[in-house]
Structure 1
Amino acid sequence: METEKKLYEEYLHEHRSKVTTYLFRINGVFLLLSCTWNLVFLLCDLHYSRANLPVLVICLGLLILLATAIRYLKPPTKISQHIMLTYFTGLLIVLYFESGYSESWSFFLLLPLLAGIYGERRPLIYYSFLGLCAMSYLSYRTPTSTYVPDNIDISNRILVYLILATFSFLLLRTLHIIYTKQVNTAIQSMETTIEEVVNSFIVSVEAKDQYSFGHSERVSKYAVALATQLPDYPKEDLQRLRLSGLLHDIGKINIPENILTKTEKLTDEEFEVIKTHTVVGARMVERIERLQALKSGVLYHHERWDGKGYPSKRSGEAIPLDARILAVADAFDAMTSSRSYRAGMSIDEAFKRLEEGRGSQFDPKLIDGLDYVKLDFKRIYKDSNDPIKEFEMLTDFF
Structure 2
Amino acid sequence: MKIVDARVIVTCPGRNFVTLKIITDEGVTGVGDATLNGRELAVESYLRDHVVPLLIGRDPARIEDTWQYLYQGAYWRRGPVTMSAIAAVDTALWDIKGKVAGLPVYDLLGGRSRTGVTVYGHANGETMDEILVEVARYLDLGYRAVRVQSGVPGIPRTYGVSADKMFYEPADAALPTETTWSTERYLAHVPSVFARVRDEFGPDVRLLHDVHHRLTPIEAARLGRSLEPYGLTWIEDPVPAELPEGFRIIRQHTTTPIATGEVFNTIWDAAQLIREQLIDYIRMTVVHSGGITHLRRVFDLAALHHVRSGSHGATDLSPVCMAAALHLDIAIPNFGLQEYMRHTPETDAVFPHEYHYEDGYLHPGDAPGLGVDIDEAAAARYPYAPAYLPVNRLTDGTLHPW
Q: Scaled by the length of structure 1, what TM-score is found? A: 0.21
More strand by share: 2
Q: Scaled by the length of structure 2, what TM-score is found? A: 0.21
More helix by share: 1
Higher relative contact order (CA 8 A, sep 6+): 2
Larger Cα-atom Rg: 1
